[in-house]
Structure 1
Amino acid sequence: MYVLQLEPVHPYSFAATTRRLAHFEKTAYRFREGFFYRTLHLKERPVAVGIGWDGGQILVQVEEELSEAEVQCLKGMIRRMFSLDVDLAPFYEQMKKEPRLAPIVESRRGLHFVLDPTLYECLIKTIISQQLNLAFAATLIQRLIERAGSKVPFREEALPVFPTPSQVARLEYEDLQRLQFNRRKAEYVIDISRKIVDGGLDLEGMKTLPDQLVTDQLVSLRGVGRWTAECLLLFGMGRPDLLPAADIGLRNALKKAYGLDRQPTESDVRRWGENWTPWRSYATFYLWDSLSGA
Structure 2
Amino acid sequence: MEFFLPLNYPYSFEKTIKRLRTFEKSSFAAAGERLSRTIHGKRGPLLCTIGPVKGEKALHVKIEGSLAEGEQETLKQTLSRMFSTAVDLTPFYEQMGRDPVLAPVIAAREGMHFVLEPSLYECLIKTIIGQQLNVSFAATLIRRFQERAGGKVSFHGREWPLFPTAEQAARLEYEDLQALQFNRRKAEYVIDLSRLVANGELDLDSLWELNDEEVLRMLLPIRGIGRWTVECVLLFGLGRPDLLPAADIGLRNALKRVYRLDHQPSEAEVRKLGEEWAPYRSYVTFYLWDTLDNMKSG
Given the two structures, how large is their TM-score scaled by the length of structure 1? 0.97
Partner of 1:103: 104
Aligned to 1:40: 39
Contact 2:44-2:66 at 8 Å conserved across structures: no
Give the AA of the match of 1:160: P
What secondary structure sits across from 1:238 in the alignment?
coil
Q: Secondary structure at the match of 1:60?
A: strand
Please state if 1:4 is matched with 2:41: no
Distance apart, 1:65 and its partner CA? 6.0
Alpha-carbon separation, structure 2, partners of 1:34 and 1:68: 30
Matches within 5 A, 1:209-220: 209-220=210-221
Q: Are residues 173 and 273 of structure 1, via their aligned partners in 2, closer, same or farther at CA, if it must alter by over 3 Å?
A: same
CA RMSD in angstroms comes to 1.3
Q: Matched residues in 2 for 1:194 and 1:42: separation?
A: 21
Residue-pair matches, total: 293
| Structure 2: tracts of 5 or more residues without a match | none
Question: Which piece of structure 1 moves more, 108-117 or 25-34?
Answer: 25-34
Residues 40 and 25 of structure 1: CA distance in aligned 2, closer, same or farther (over 3 Å): farther
Mapping of 1:160-175 within 5 angstroms?
Answer: 160-175=161-176
Task: Indicate conservation of the 8 Å contact 2:212/2:234, yes or no.
Answer: yes
Q: 1:44 to 1:205 in 2, by over 3 A?
A: farther
**Deviation of residue 150 (structure 1)?**
2.8
TM superposition shift of 1:67: 4.5
In 2, distance between residues paired with 1:117 and 1:67? 18
Tell me the CA shift for residue 30 of structure 1.
Answer: 0.9
Structure 2 residue aligned with 1:23: 22
Residues 77-120 of structure 1: per-residue CA shift (max 9 Å, x gap): 11000001111000001101211111110000000000000000
Mapped to 2, the partners of 1:219 and 1:64 lie a distance apart of 37
Quote the residue 2:259 is aligned against. Answer: 258
SS in 1 for 2:289: helix
Decide whether the 8 Å contact of 2:150 with 2:162 is kept in 1: yes
Q: TM-score, normalised by structure 2?
A: 0.95
Matching of residues 114-129 of structure 1 within 5 Å: 114-129=115-130
Contact 2:24 2:136 survives alignment (8 Å)? no
Q: Percent identical across equivalent pairs?
A: 57
Paired residues of 2:43 and 2:68 also in contact (CA < 8 A): no
CA shift for structure 1 position 155: 1.2
- Partners of 2:181 and 2:174 lie apart in 1 by 11
CA shift at 1:152, angstroms? 2.2
Hey, what does 2:206 align to over in structure 1?
A: 205
For residue 27 of structure 1, report the CA deviation from its aligned partner.
4.9
Determine if contact 1:27/1:141 at 8 Å carries over to the other structure.
no
Q: Does 2:237 align with 1:236? A: yes
Runs of 4+ more than 2 Å apart: 62-68
CA distance in 2, matches of 1:194, 1:24: 29
The unaligned stretches of length 5 or more in structure 1 are none
1:88 and 2:107 correspond: no
In 1, Cα distance between equivalents of 2:153 and 2:95: 44
